[in-house]
Amino acid sequence: AQKITQTQPGMFVQEKEAVTLDCTYDTSDPSYGLFWYKQPSSGEMIFLIYQGSYDQQNATEGRYSLNFQKARKSANLVISASQLGDSAMYFCAMREGPNNDMRFGAGTRLTVKP
């Protein structure tokens, strides 16, 4: 069964506007971590933001914030004031279990338009 679901294969946003990338997850483990990564066209994986399952507040890192809704099992990434350099693939991932397995979603390709 798919553990991480990203329902938006592609998204467009106007420069300087905010955009939300969706992510839902499935786990029965009460302890887990949620991550977002950015993959530009050069291919490297860049860590953006982390949210722990016990964290009471939504994580923020600069222009990135994570809208964590635990009951709905969603962990959407919000990028504020989009920049052209934000154009990339974005992956949601979850780490759980005694083996610390990390599962990734299929990704969302974000294009920022000038």
Kindly tell me which residue out of 15, 54, 60, 111 binds another protein, with binding defined by CB under 8 A.
54
b/e for 93-104, b at 16 or more Cβ within 10 A? bbbbeeeeeebe
Give yes or no for a contact between 55 and 70, defined as CB atoms under 8 angstroms apart. no
50 lines the binding site for another protein (CB under 8 A): yes
Residue 96 binds another protein (CB under 8 A) = yes
What is the bridge-based pairing of β-strands 10-14 and 108-113?
parallel
Q: Which is nearer to another protein, 100 or 114 (CB)?
A: 100
Q: Does 52 bind another protein (CB under 8 A)?
A: yes
Q: Does 68 bind another protein (CB under 8 A)?
A: no
Closest CA to 19 of 83, 107, 72: 83
Stretch that binds another protein, among 18-26, 65-73, 75-83, 104-112 (CB under 8 A): 104-112
CA–CA gap between residue 66 and residue 58 (Å, rounded) = 6
Of positions 31, 60, 69, 80, contacts another protein by CB under 8 A? 31
Say how far apart CA 76 and CA 10 lie, in whole Å. Answer: 15
- Verify binding: residue 43, another protein, rule CB under 8 A: yes
The residues of the shown chain that bind another protein, judged by CB under 8 A, are 4, 6, 9, 31-33, 35, 37, 43-45, 47, 50, 52-55, 91, 93, 95-96, 98-107
